[in-house]
């Protein structure tokens, strides 16, 4: 009898969790904790991540769309931008984003530094410019002193801004999920139902895309392999970057770490619940219709991927001065 069949049989008979450690060749790997190499750079990045003065309105910060109290996203189908503009796409979580092959759903930013500068100057998001954002920071002595302490000069640059934000985001790793503990040999970390859900997840082919430490984020895949995905969202995926027709509707595979916190799901936010997301993915990607019981087990497994959330003292931002450009929250 295979390992998978033995585990499912044990679950069906309601016997206790098997007394074995996770095999070393599991497609999902434990998530290591972040290593802080430059605490001062990270602290500066934290302040910038929470500072709404990087936006034209003085109201929108990085944390607005990537709320660290809400799984690193905003739990909206589309984020709200400058002057209440509706965003074109669902906001992906910033948690564990350093493990992504690239940033944004279409991968147009290769690094976190590339990504960090985008929303600042996007007229539909923070609606500022890099020049205005830098001038705002340059007008604040508290920031000038901190940038000098970190970078060794008095002149603030957008390159330094994005480097600091990226350094902070690199610390937003969420290890120690119950599934990680099971992978490391804690046989009591998961229930039989959760283990059965993991076996279904593997046996159904989900790990072909959702694998590695981040359980995704490392490839681009077509959405709607077996059955076309129908949506009113205008995003076309990777083709926007490569201009190759073969990349139409190819999106970066999202990480499933903390997935119970990052609803709604998909690039268009159309799946409101994990159960709905599992049903849709099974149907359009795998050509499989999960029973209600199978769906419940897979969802139970997915919830074991929630790890330690960012936990730190909120930064106190340095005050503006008379030279700081006033915010423009309204037309």
Feature table: binding site for heme c: 62, 65-66, 82, 206, 209-210, 281
What is the CB neighbour count within 10 angstroms for residue 264? Answer: 19
Which residues are within 8 A (CB) of 43 and not within 5 positions of it... i.e. 6 or more apart?
A: 168, 315
Burial of 13 (0-12, 13-18, 19+ CB in 10 A): exposed
Integer distance in angstroms from the first to the last C-alpha of the chain? 68
State the Cα–Cα distance between residues 245 and 243, nearest whole angstrom.
6
- Concatenating the DSSP letter of every residue in 53-114 gives GGSSSS---HHHHSBTTTTTB-SSSS-B-GGGPBPSS-----TTGGGSSSBSTT--BSSHHH
The active-site residue out of 125, 169, 199, 279 is: 125
Nearest to 305 by CA among 271, 262, 264, 251: 262
Give the residue carrying structure tokens 């593997």: 202
Looking at the DSSP bridge assignments, the partners of residue 103 are 109
Binding-site residues, please? 62, 65-66, 82, 206, 209-210, 281
Largest Cα–Cα separation, the chain: 75
Which residues are within 8 A (CB) of 260 and not within 5 positions of it... i.e. 6 or more apart?
A: 274, 302, 303, 305, 306
Is 244 catalytic? The answer is no
What is the CB neighbour count within 10 angstroms for residue 173? Answer: 22
Catalytic residue set: 125
């Amino acid at each position: 009898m295979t390992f998978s069949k033995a585990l499912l049989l044990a679950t069906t008979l309601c016997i206790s969790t098997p007394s074995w450690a996770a095999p070393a060749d599991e497609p999902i790997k434990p998530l290591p904790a972040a290593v802080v190499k430059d605490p001062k750079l990270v602290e500066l990045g934290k302040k910038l991540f929470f500072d709404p003065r990087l936006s034209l309105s003085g109201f929108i910060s990085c944390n607005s769309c990537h709320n660290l109290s809400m799984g690193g996203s905003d739990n909206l189908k589309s984020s709200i931008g400058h002057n209440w503009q509706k965003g074109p796409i669902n906001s992906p979580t910033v948690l564990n984003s350093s493990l992504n092959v690239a940033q944004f759903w279409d991968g147009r930013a290769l690094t976190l530094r590339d990504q960090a500068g985008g929303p600042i100057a996007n007229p539909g998001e923070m609606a500022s410019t890099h020049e205005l954002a830098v001038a705002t920071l340059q007008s604040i002595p508290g920031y000038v002193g901190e940038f000098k302490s970190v970078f060794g000069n008095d002149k603030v640059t957008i390159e330094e801004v994005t480097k600091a934000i990226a350094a902070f985001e690199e610390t937003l790793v969420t290890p120690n999920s119950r599934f990680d503990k099971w992978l490391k040999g804690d046989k009591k970390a998961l229930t039989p139902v959760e283990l059965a859900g993991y076996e279904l997840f593997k046996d159904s082919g989900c790990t072909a895309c959702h694998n590695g430490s981040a359980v995704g984020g490392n490839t681009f895949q077509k959405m709607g392999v077996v059955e076309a995905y129908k949506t009113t969202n205008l995003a076309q995926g990777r083709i926007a970057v490569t201009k190759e027709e073969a990349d139409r509707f190819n999106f970066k595979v999202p990480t499933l770490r903390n997935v119970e916190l990052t609803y709604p799901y998909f690039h268009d936010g159309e799946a409101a619940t994990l159960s709905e997301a599992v049903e849709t993915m099974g149907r359009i990607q795998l050509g499989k219709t999960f029973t209600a019981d199978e769906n419940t087990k897979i969802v139970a497994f997915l919830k074991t991927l929630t790890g330690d959330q960012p936990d730190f003292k909120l930064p106190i931002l340095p005050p503006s001065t008379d030279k700081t450009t006033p915010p423009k929250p309204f037309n």
